[in-house]
Amino acid sequence: MNFSLPGYTPPDFSTPRLSTAPTATFTPVRRHGVAPEGYHATTVFPEYFQLSPGQWVLAARSRMDCVVVLAEKELLVKEFRNLRQGDLVAVGRSENGEQGIYVHTQGFAGPDQLDDKFAFRSNRTRETSFSIDYDQLYQLLDHERDQGFIVWVLGPAVTFDHDAREAFSRLIKLGYVHALLAGNALATHDLEGSLFETALGQELYHKRAVADGHYHHLDTLNTIRRAGSIQAAIDQELITEGIMHSLVCSGVPYVLAGSIRDDGPLPEIFGDVYQAQDAMRRYTSQATTVIALATQLHTIAAGNMTPSYTLTPQGQVRPVYFYSVDMSEFAVNKLSDRGSLTAKSILTNAQDFMVTLLRGLRERAS
């Protein structure tokens, strides 16, 4: 079975409500970083703005909790902090066309589901069966590898297990990773694995603590900082394998967002949180599939800046698929009410997920 994108049903702008709607109002920003009164805040859904009678324009590359700026008949979605004096911001709190703004929530609506008032196992928990989710994910990733943009959001747990680390490195080389969003810890412990075959001082495979192992991540940071960068350490053959090595050698971009907890940190870390957010959004705005694994805060951050839709190079509207994978029910369900029609959660640990995913993709290819 092969994956096919669901069709998108655009709004019917010929209906009386929309055909008689006024054009959208745009009000200039008077002070940098401050939206005008009555601004319209974006959702994760496709949103259309009537710029002239009958001309409804979709805001592309959107994200939730931002504003829409009109720039030469193009609609830009901006964070409040990026507003500049003179920007023309859409105003209006109505979302059904009354103010020339229409939020389309049913574009990817599927067949009706059974809606009993009482039903067992309606929420995703550790007891949920995820077999069909894996099978669907295999199909999706095979499609997205060549026709989409797959963004991974990873926590350091992926680097703590020998097989998981090897599996993700293999996924990079096989073309299933188009960008990586992470923090200092994932990169540091992956590089530690290459230098010392440990993660936080434990052997990657046997999990045995080694003498002075608690120094290893600090020695790793010092080594990379001495080299000048991860790229330089690879060029000097200090780092010869692992996730970061695979990313660099495969030309896959990554964003390492800093934290108040960071040691070192690595030279590539974004220490300014808003620079990190801008860098992350460069890739979430391109994403067609996002897989967030074992990192609650990065998952929430990426989820908040990822819309439920994007445009293909041909201008077609398609869904953005978002997977949240974690052992914690709270973590995976945190985004369940963010409005995405395609967000899915899988309850499992990072190691089992990564190894199972690689195995399933290989079996499909064989």
Tens of pLDDT, residue by residue over 224-271, are: 999 999 999 999 999 999 999 999 999 999 999 999 999 999 999 999
Residue 158 clears pLDDT 80, i.e. is over it: yes
CA nearest to 183, candidates 68, 122, 264, 285: 264
| Chain segment 3-20, per-residue pLDDT in tens | 899 999 999 999 999 999
Whether 54 shows a pLDDT value over 70: the answer reads yes
Q: How far apart are CA 319 and CA 4, in angstroms?
A: 11
Give the pLDDT confidence score for residue 331 in this predicted structure.
76
With beta carbons less than 8 A apart as the criterion, state whether 45 and 339 touch: yes
- According to the model, what pLDDT value does residue 337 have? 54
The pair phi, psi for residue 44, each rounded to 5°, is: -90, -5
Phi, psi of 165 (to 5 degrees): -60, -45
Burial environment of residue 290 by CB neighbours within 10 A (0 to 12, 13 to 18, 19 or more)? buried
Mean pLDDT of 82-86: 98
pTM given for the model: 0.94
Residue 113 confidence (pLDDT): 47
| Upper half-sphere CA count for residue 140 (Cβ side, 13 Å) | 22
Percentage of the chain with pLDDT > 70?
Answer: 93
Predicted confidence at residue 325, as pLDDT, reads 94
- Residue 81 DSSP class: G
pLDDT at 120 over 50: no
Give the closest residue to 221 by CA, choosing from 212, 233, 203.
Answer: 233
Q: How far apart are the first and last CA of the chain?
A: 14
Structure-block tokens of residue 28? 């200039």
Neighbours of 102 (CB within 10 A): 24
Rounded CA gap, 346 and 111, in Å? 23
Give percent of the chain above pLDDT 90: 85
pLDDT tens readout for residues 86-109: 999 999 999 999 999 999 999 987
Q: By mean pLDDT, which of 62-71, 153-162, 191-200, 340-349 is the weakest?
A: 340-349
Model confidence pLDDT, tens digit, residues 274-310: 999 999 999 999 999 999 999 988 998 999 999 999 9
> Is the model more confident about 333 or about 101?
101
Collect all residues with Cβ–Cβ distance below 8 Å to 363 and sequence separation of at least 6. none
